[in-house]
Amino acid sequence: MHKRLFIPGPVDVREDVLQKMATPQIGHRTKEASALQRSISDKMRKLMYTENEILLSTSSGSGLMEGAVRSCTRKRAAIFSVGAFGDRWYEMAKSNNVPADIFKSELGKPTTPEMVEEALSTGKYDLVTITHNETSTAIMNPVDEIAEVMRKYPDVIFCMDTVSSMGGTKIEVDKLGVDICITSTQKCLGLPAGLSICSISNKAIEAAKEVPHRGLYFDLLQLYEYIQKKDYQYPSTPSLAHMFALDYQLDNIMAEGLENRFNRHLEMAKYTRAWAEKHFEMLAEEKYASNTLTTIRNTKEISVSDLNKELGKRGYMISNGYGKLKDVTFRIAHMADTQMNDLKVLLETIEEILGL
């Protein structure tokens, strides 16, 4: 039996979207391939509220995260971490020999604009990474306020991880001044994992030109220059299966309407938060609570794995806590094509299993 996924990626994929992955292959050096990849880039620009170039990478989101920090750090990177995915960005910098410092917030707390100001005022850094939506703690950082600080430092490259939020909440890349905004397919976009996407500003391109060792597969400058010359074709063979499905899914997203889609996510988030407050506690403060998933404190000390076994028998799956939060929290994702009704049935089923 298929279990309906309420885990924060991979998410359930609509049957019609899955079918698009079975589209017969085309040559990756054909006009059709150019048109397909150009079409995706145009639609992604709308979704991301940007006029910047879009890069598509056959990898999960981590690939472009590693590529960004490696390709564009000239001096030193300031990595702001509010959990597992910020920590990972720091590990990526370190293992690529990119000079970097990590600025961690207490678990469940955001990166504050003051923290960013304090770090940048030292003049040591020329690249900043921010996690927009941290999937371990389910907090959304105050990026509007952070962006205001970033504006004071126009030479610093602003990278943002929107892997678990792009497509589920409004993120206006150009308004925020984000130079490299990264996402991947298996979360709010509602596709299988395997493709990551980023927007990239001219400023980031110019920065990359000053970096001698950018790696190869995830060299953002090479990807950028290649698609300019080769009409949106990429240096290596891309997952065309993902391309067909993403192009189609972006049409579905536009047909739903971006505001409608963001509102649907918000309504589901509010419903889950209210449920969490009623039966357990939220990990995040309301002000920083994520719109795409909720991390709930396990105040009743339930066995999340037993709960998931029972849910599994009924055709559902939720997620335990991540890393250090494994047993003390659990997570419910409400993203991509999940509808309010699906969520209500899930929460009722949890109540019934736990006798709440």
Ligand X SMILES: *Cc1c(COP(=O)(O)O)cnc(C)c1O
Contact residues for ligand X, defined by CB under 6 A: 9, 60-62, 85, 131, 133-135, 161, 163-164, 184, 193
CB of 331 to ligand X, least distance (A): 11
CB of 185 to ligand X, least distance (A): 8
Q: Which is nearer to ligand X, 17 or 353 (CB)?
A: 17
Q: Which is nearer to ligand X, 63 or 113 (CB)?
A: 63
CB of 328 to ligand X, least distance (A): 19
Please provide the distance, in angstroms rounded to a whole number, between the alpha carbons at the two ends of the chain.
26
CB of 212 to ligand X, least distance (A): 26
DSSP state string for 82-132: SSHHHHHHHHHHHHTT--EEEEEPPTT-PPPHHHHHHHHTTS--SEEEEES
Whole-angstrom Cα distance, residue 134 to residue 323? 13
Residue 261, helix vs strand vs coil: helix
Report yes or no: 188 and 164 within 8 Å, Cβ to Cβ: yes
CB of 285 to ligand X, least distance (A): 19
Q: Which is nearer to ligand X, 68 or 350 (CB)?
A: 68
Q: Which is nearer to ligand X, 135 or 308 (CB)?
A: 135
CB of 86 to ligand X, least distance (A): 8
Q: Which is nearer to ligand X, 33 or 294 (CB)?
A: 294
Q: Which is nearer to ligand X, 73 or 164 (CB)?
A: 164
